[in-house]
Structure 1
C-alpha cells in the first residue's frame, strides 16, 4: 500500500509518545549509600560502537564486539521491601542505579561468568533485545528480569546496534544481519567455557530472528555440542512464518523444545506484517493455525499463546515480561511444579492462569531460571 510506511510510523509514534526512555546518564556510575541493597551484575556483549556522548555509552552505530560488566543496585521503593515482581508498565531504570562499569576483554568476560557460577549462578541467560532498543534500555530490562529470577541466573546481554528509533526498522533489520556472526561467537565462547552447563537464549521481536540466524549458522558450522546445551525462547518473534520454517529445518530439533510466545493482537507485529506486504509474522499467529501445528509436530517445538497476559507498551508487544514475572512470583510461592519439557501448543485462560503444566518449562526459559 503506498504511503502505509509513513502511516505506520505515525501510529508507532503515537503509541510510544508517552513512554519514558532512559538516557545515557542512567548508566553513569554513582556512589551509593543504600544499605543492604540488592546487587546485580549484568554482563554485556555488544557490537555497537561507542557513542560520542558524555557519559560514555554504546550508541546506534556498528562496531566491533566489546564486553563490559555493569554492577547495579536495586532500589527499594520508599524505604519499603523489595518488590517480588516489578511492574511491566514502568521504566525499569527507575528501579536500579548503576554503581560500577568495567570494560572487559573476552578472556576477562569468560572469567566473570565462571566467577558468577561459583557464587551460585545455575543458568547463563542471554537476552537478545528487539527493534527500537537503546543500549541502556536493554541493560535495565535485563536487570529487571534478573531481579525477578533471583540469584540462580548469570544474566548476559547481547546488544546489537539498533537505531532506538521507530523510523529505524529497515536499518535495524540490516543490523541484525550484521550482528549474526557476533552472537554466534558469543554462544560458542560461553558454550565451550561451560561444557555441560545450562545456557538459555531469549530473543525478543527482531532479536528472535537474530537468535534463529545464529543457531542456523552454528548448525551449518558443525557446532552441534554448543547447540545441544541451549534452551531457546522466542518472545513475540518478528519473523516471516516461511522464513522461520526454513530456519527451523536447518537448526533441527533442540534437546529442550524451542519455546515460542505468541499473541494474536500484537500491534507491532501487525505493522511489521503490513510493511512486509501482508506476510504473517510468527509472533502474532494463532496457535491453532495449521502451519503452527505442523511446525510443532515436525520440529518438536512448544507454542504458548499469551494473549491474555497484560501489556504495557501500547503495542501488546512486551507481554513476555508479564509472563516471566508471573512465573517468578508463583515459583517463590511454590505454585508451579518442576519443569515439564514436552512440545505442544498451550493456552492461558482469561485470567492469565496456566491451564496446563507444560507452561512451567516455557516460563522458566523466559524468566531465566531453567
Structure 2
C-alpha cells in the first residue's frame, strides 16, 4: 500500500481538488443542456436520513435516490466538466433536481421506463459525486436512452484506502445480488447491462457467481456483463468463471496491457497479474478466452484521461452513436468469445451500452 501511495501521490498532487458534496447543490437549468436522470442504489450511509449526501461509512440497508444531472451545452464527449464554486449548468455538470427514494419508487422508476437498464458499479478511490457524474457522462455520450442506475458502494476515496475498499466491495456483494434480482424480476425492465469498472469488476463478477450458486439462473439470463479494466487476480477470475459458466451474450472484458493502475495493484498483491491487463496477443489468452466463452477486447488504442491508462472505457460511450450507425450500415454485430483488439475499421462487437467498438479478431 505504501508503494502504491508513493508512486501515485506525485502525479495526483497536481490534480484539481476532488469534488465534494457541494457539487450536488440543486440549481436551475439552462437552454441547450442535456439532462440525464440517474437512479441510485447505494450501500453508502447517508449523512442524514433526508439527505443525498453520502459518506464512506457502510449502511446497514441499501439506500435509494434519484438525480437529474445537467451536462453543459459545450460538453466534450468523454469528459466531465467539473464545477468550480457554485455549479453553473452553462459551463459545468450540475444537479437540477434530486430526491430521496424508497425501494418501491426506485423499482417503479426503472420499470416504467420500459427500456434498457445500465447498472454502473464504480471502482476503487471514487467518492459518490465522482461516480454519479461519471455515469451521467457515459449515459449522455452513448445516447441510447433507457435508465442508468448507479450502484455506489462505500469507497474511502483515498489512495491509502485500497484495503478498506476491498472490504467494502465484499460488504456490498449481497446488496448488488439483490438489486440485480429485483431489476430482473420487474416485467417492465428491459435489457440489463452490468458494467463494473476496476475493483467494481470484482464486485460484479462475485455477484454473478453468487447468483449462480443461489440457482438464480433466470436472473443471469437477463444480464449482459461487462468488466472494464477489472482489478481481479487472474487465478481468482478463473475460479469465478468455473462457477459462473458461459454467458449469453458472452461476458466481455475491456483490457489494456499498459494499465499502470492495475500494474501497481498487482505489485502490491504479491506480483499477481490482473485480468484487466491481459495481453490479447498471447496465444494462451486467446485460447483461454475461446474455451471459457469470454470476449476479451484490448482498448489500448483509446485515449485515457487519468494518466494511468485506467479509464479508457469512458471513451467508448462517446464513440457509440457513430459505431452503431456503421454497424447498421454493414449489417453486422459480432458478439463472440475470443480475444480482439479495438479498431475503428473492423467488425463490430458489443459491450457497455450496446455496440461500443470495432475489433479485428486475432490482431
- Provide the TM-score with structure 1 as the length reference: 0.87
Q: Which residue of 2 aligns with 1:31?
A: 28
Q: Which residue of 1 aligns with 2:198?
A: 205
- Equivalent of 1:357, from 337, 341, 347? 347
Q: Which residue of 2 aligns with 1:69?
A: 66
The whole-number CA distance in structure 2 between the counterparts of 1:196 and 1:100 is 24
**CA, structure 1 residues 89+314, in 2 after alignment: closer, same or farther (shift >3 Å)?**
farther
- Secondary structure (helix, strand or coil) at the match of 1:354 reads strand
Q: Which residue of 2 aligns with 1:250?
A: 243
Q: Which residue of 2 aligns with 1:299?
A: 292
Equivalent residue runs for 1:312-327 within 5 Å = 312-327=305-320
Residue pair 1:245, 1:295 contacting (<8 A) in 2 also: no
Q: Which residue of 1 aligns with 2:334?
A: 340
Q: Which residue of 1 aligns with 2:360?
A: none
- Equivalent of 2:110, from 92, 103, 113? 113
Structure 1 range deviating more: 228-237 or 37-46: 37-46
The whole-number CA distance in structure 1 between the counterparts of 2:315 and 2:177 is 28
The whole-number CA distance in structure 2 between the counterparts of 1:288 and 1:60 is 40
Larger fraction in helix: 1
Q: Which residue of 2 aligns with 1:48?
A: 44
**CA, structure 1 residues 196+141, in 2 after alignment: closer, same or farther (shift >3 Å)?**
closer
Residue pair 2:32, 2:72 contacting (<8 A) in 1 also: no
**CA, structure 1 residues 198+157, in 2 after alignment: closer, same or farther (shift >3 Å)?**
same
**CA, structure 1 residues 40+324, in 2 after alignment: closer, same or farther (shift >3 Å)?**
closer
Structure 1 range deviating more: 337-346 or 302-311: 337-346
Q: 1:144-190: CA deviations, max 9, x gaps?
A: 01111225221000000000011100000010100000000100000
Residue pair 2:81, 2:93 contacting (<8 A) in 1 also: no
How far 1:89 sits from its partner (Å)? 7.5
Unaligned runs of 5+ in 1: 78-82
- Secondary structure (helix, strand or coil) at the match of 1:280 reads coil
- Secondary structure (helix, strand or coil) at the match of 1:356 reads strand
Q: Which residue of 1 aligns with 2:175?
A: 182
Residue pair 1:16, 1:314 contacting (<8 A) in 2 also: no
Larger fraction in strand: 2
The whole-number CA distance in structure 1 between the counterparts of 2:276 and 2:243 is 20
How far 1:200 sits from its partner (Å)? 0.2
Unaligned runs of 5+ in 2: 358-363
Q: Which residue of 1 aligns with 2:261?
A: 268
The whole-number CA distance in structure 2 between the counterparts of 1:356 and 1:246 is 32
Alignment RMSD (CA, Å): 2.5
Q: Which residue of 2 aligns with 1:158?
A: 151
Residue pair 1:127, 1:157 contacting (<8 A) in 2 also: yes
- Provide the TM-score with structure 2 as the length reference: 0.89
Q: 1:288-336: CA deviations, max 9, x gaps?
A: 3354234312221110111111111111100001133223343357777
Aligned residue pairs, count: 348
Residue pair 1:265, 1:284 contacting (<8 A) in 2 also: yes
The whole-number CA distance in structure 2 between the counterparts of 1:26 and 1:115 is 29
Residue pair 1:75, 1:96 contacting (<8 A) in 2 also: yes
**CA, structure 1 residues 336+43, in 2 after alignment: closer, same or farther (shift >3 Å)?**
farther
The whole-number CA distance in structure 2 between the counterparts of 1:274 and 1:102 is 42
